[in-house]
Amino acid sequence: MSARGIKGQAVPVLFGLACLAAFFILIEFLINIGKINRFIVPLPSDVVKSFARVAVEEDLLNRFLLTAYEALMATLLLSVAGISLGVLLHRVRLIRLATETWIAALASAPLVLMYPLFLVMFGRSAWTIIMIAFVSALPPVILKTLEGLSATRPVLINVGRSFKLTPSQLYWKILFPAALPTIFVGVRLGMIFALINIVGVEFLINFGGLGQLVNELSERYDWPGAYAAIGFVILVSVMFFMGTERIERWLRPGT
């Protein structure tokens, strides 16, 4: 990569970090002058200091890895199932007409409240959390896959047919590559749904991971530590988003 390209990538990152630092400085100032209650929002400086303490005293690595494992498994499941179901809805018009509205409605349903049912089915284990996250995150992947395939330009399909491509070849060589950007939008949306539900259910059933850590620190009124734990949840999200960006660039090398 050229020096200009590196500089072009570095400037937005540095600007974003500067804005984040300015936001934390503003919050620190507002807390110190009494405009924000420090018993609700701790000083950002105290949160930063608590990162090392939480990492050492709260078995952070294993909790972090468990949440990351749950997020990874849920993402893999929803990617495979969601994309496959989106393709099915695109190919079979009757199924699409019968189920598309229900799938869209399912996206807004608070499925996390069904965690007692999942506890009965899977027990108090990581798979309870994975399956709740998977089911909750499935609709956006299905709908975005369907949207991407349906939005493929007819001229591209006609070109494929002029080369006498089989229906399978038409999907793999024309429709799927054209739909990839939209499909990855769906996967990212699904990851957001999945991670919200993972941390929420860990908090609710008090089982492993970073959600349980936030629960324990909150019950001890260790607000700086609780906010630091939330910071590690954000780190998991950033890791997965960066991973999906790299996979998309690998699948679409021209972008």
Cα atoms found within 13 Å of the Cα of residue 204, Cβ hemisphere only: 18
pLDDT tens column, 185-229: 888 888 888 888 888 888 888 887 888 888 888 888 888 888 888
Domain ranges of the chain: 1-39, 42-251
pLDDT computed for residue 252 by the predictor: 64
> Which pLDDT band, with edges at 50, 70 and 90, does 5 fall under?
low
> Which pLDDT band, with edges at 50, 70 and 90, does 7 fall under?
low
> Which pLDDT band, with edges at 50, 70 and 90, does 111 fall under?
confident
In angstroms, the CA 192 to CA 181 distance is: 17
Q: Which two tokens stand for residue 57?
A: 């005293």
Q: Which two tokens stand for residue 228?
A: 């630091």
In angstroms, the CA 174 to CA 5 distance is: 31
pLDDT computed for residue 165 by the predictor: 79
The overall average pLDDT reported for the chain is 84
In angstroms, the CA 89 to CA 100 distance is: 8
pLDDT computed for residue 254 by the predictor: 55
Report CA-CA distances (Å) from 139 to 92, 109, 143, 244, 254: 17, 10, 6, 18, 29
> Which pLDDT band, with edges at 50, 70 and 90, does 246 fall under?
confident
pLDDT computed for residue 226 by the predictor: 87
More confident residue, 157 or 74: 74
pLDDT computed for residue 11 by the predictor: 76
Closest to 116 in 3D by CA, of 204, 54, 181: 204
For residues 122-138, average pLDDT: 89
pLDDT at residue 81 tops 90: yes
**By the 8 A CB rule, do 103 and 86 touch?**
no
Closest to 118 in 3D by CA, of 204, 60, 215, 182: 204
Report CA-CA distances (Å) from 9 to 6, 14, 16, 249: 5, 9, 11, 16
- Whether this prediction's pTM lies above 0.85 is answered by no
> Which pLDDT band, with edges at 50, 70 and 90, does 134 fall under?
very high
pLDDT tens column, 27-63: 889 888 888 888 888 888 888 888 888 888 888 888 8
Closest to 90 in 3D by CA, of 149, 153, 169, 152: 149
More confident residue, 168 or 92: 92
As a whole number of Å, the CA-based R_g of the chain is 22
pLDDT computed for residue 253 by the predictor: 58
Report CA-CA distances (Å) from 170 to 159, 196, 221, 230: 10, 36, 58, 45
> CB within 8 A of 16, min separation 6: which ones?
none
pLDDT computed for residue 207 by the predictor: 81
- Which superfamily does 42-251 belong to? MetI-like (1.10.3720.10)
Query: How large a percentage of the chain has pLDDT more than 70?
Result: 95
In angstroms, the CA 186 to CA 141 distance is: 4
